[in-house]
Structure 1
Amino acid sequence: MTTPVMNWRAIDADPRFQALHRKKTFFLWGLMVFSIIYYFLLPIGAAYFTDIFKIKVWGPVNIGILFALSEFVVAWFIAVIYSRRANAEFDSMAQEIINDAHNIGS
């Protein structure tokens, strides 16, 4: 039994692959920009908005600590958003290309 040879250049040139790549890239850039902005709000806030970050919420816990901890929540939120989008849209597009991969470029 031989393994079929894939024409990777033809797969790369396939309009369905191009659409998948374009949608995924656009979506990931949006998530990345959001996460970078949110990440840098912590040092910016700690440096320039110290009065806000010093506000006590409960005991020794202040806004700065809560904002720092929220970075973890936001990271998980971004992961959930990506996985839902991938499951709903990207995976089905990729599966269609995979199912037809042996016919692409023949």
Structure 2
Amino acid sequence: MTKEAIEHIKHNPKYQELVRKRSRFAWTLSIIMLVVYYAFILTIAFDPKLLGTPIEQGKVMTVGIPVGIAIILIAFALTGIYVKRANGEFDDLSREVKAELEKELAKETK
């Protein structure tokens, strides 16, 4: 790819929109996951008895087991949400940027 093509891409408003939306969305999902994970870790650090409490009196399973499973499921869900949006909106914007770049480069070669 030439420097000229790279400059066309960088200055394309749809490319800038793509980068802005994708970055904001990725950071939002990352922050959600970090809050969930660190809340779990801080609970273990400052109130380990809470997660070690049995779900029912006389049972072996503690509160920590379903909480841990929920954290794993949240991670899978956030990944799925990102993939769905990436394969939809972000791919559409990428295709539009590519089509516009091809048009601009075709004009310049004429």
TM-score (norm 2): 0.81
What amino acid maps onto 2:32 in structure 1? F
Q: CA deviation at 1:13?
A: 1.3
Stretches of structure 2 lacking an aligned partner (at least 5 in a row): none
Shift of 1:49: 2.2
CA RMSD, 1 decimal: 2.0
- Matching residue of 1:74: 74
Q: Structure 2: which amino acid aligns with 1:82? A: Y
* Higher helix proportion: 2
Q: For structure 1, list consecutive stretches of 5 or more residues without a partner in the other structure.
A: none
| TM-score after normalising by structure 1 | 0.83
Task: Select the structure of larger CA radius of gyration.
Answer: 2
| Larger strand proportion of the pair | 1
Alignment map for 1:16-35 (pairs within 5 Å): 16-35=14-33
% identical aligned pairs: 22
Runs of 4 or more, structure 1, over 4 Å off, are none
Which has the higher relative contact order, 1 or 2, with Cα contacts under 8 A spaced 6 or more apart? Answer: 1
